[in-house]
């Protein structure tokens, strides 16, 4: 769960205000979301075919 302000992040982007962007905590959220989508979700996504391959190898 992330406490952030999308409104502050938008205002920060519009005004090129790095301090406000930091205050919005949007960058922390974006980093965590990218990590989840690329690493954690990817591992979950690949687990099913990996389990099938392992099961196939055990059957033969």
Give the model's confidence band at 26: pLDDT under 50 very low, under 70 low, under 90 confident, else very high: very high
1 lies in some domain: no
13 lies in some domain: yes
54 lies in some domain: yes
Q: Domain containing 35: what range?
A: 6-59
21 lies in some domain: yes
Domain count, the chain: 1
Q: How far apart are CA 31 and CA 46, in angstroms?
A: 22
DSSP, residue by residue, the chain: -----HHHHHHHHHHT-HHHHHHHTHHHHHHHHHHIIIIIHHHHHHHHHHHHHHHHHHH-
Whether this prediction's pTM lies above 0.75 is answered by no
With a cut of 80, say whether residue 9 has pLDDT above it: yes
With a cut of 90, say whether residue 28 has pLDDT above it: yes
With a cut of 60, say whether residue 60 has pLDDT above it: no
Q: How far apart are CA 42 and CA 24, in angstroms?
A: 28
Which structure tokens are listed for 48? 């099913």
Rank 4-8, 39-43, 49-53, 55-59 by mean pLDDT and report only the highest: 4-8
């Amino acid at each position: 769960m992330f406490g952030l302000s999308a409104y502050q992040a938008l205002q920060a982007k519009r005004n090129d205000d790095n301090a406000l962007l930091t205050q919005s905590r949007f960058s922390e959220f974006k980093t965590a979301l990218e990590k989840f989508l690329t690493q954690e979700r990817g591992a979950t996504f690949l687990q099913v075919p990996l389990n099938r391959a392992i099961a196939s190898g055990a059957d033969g």
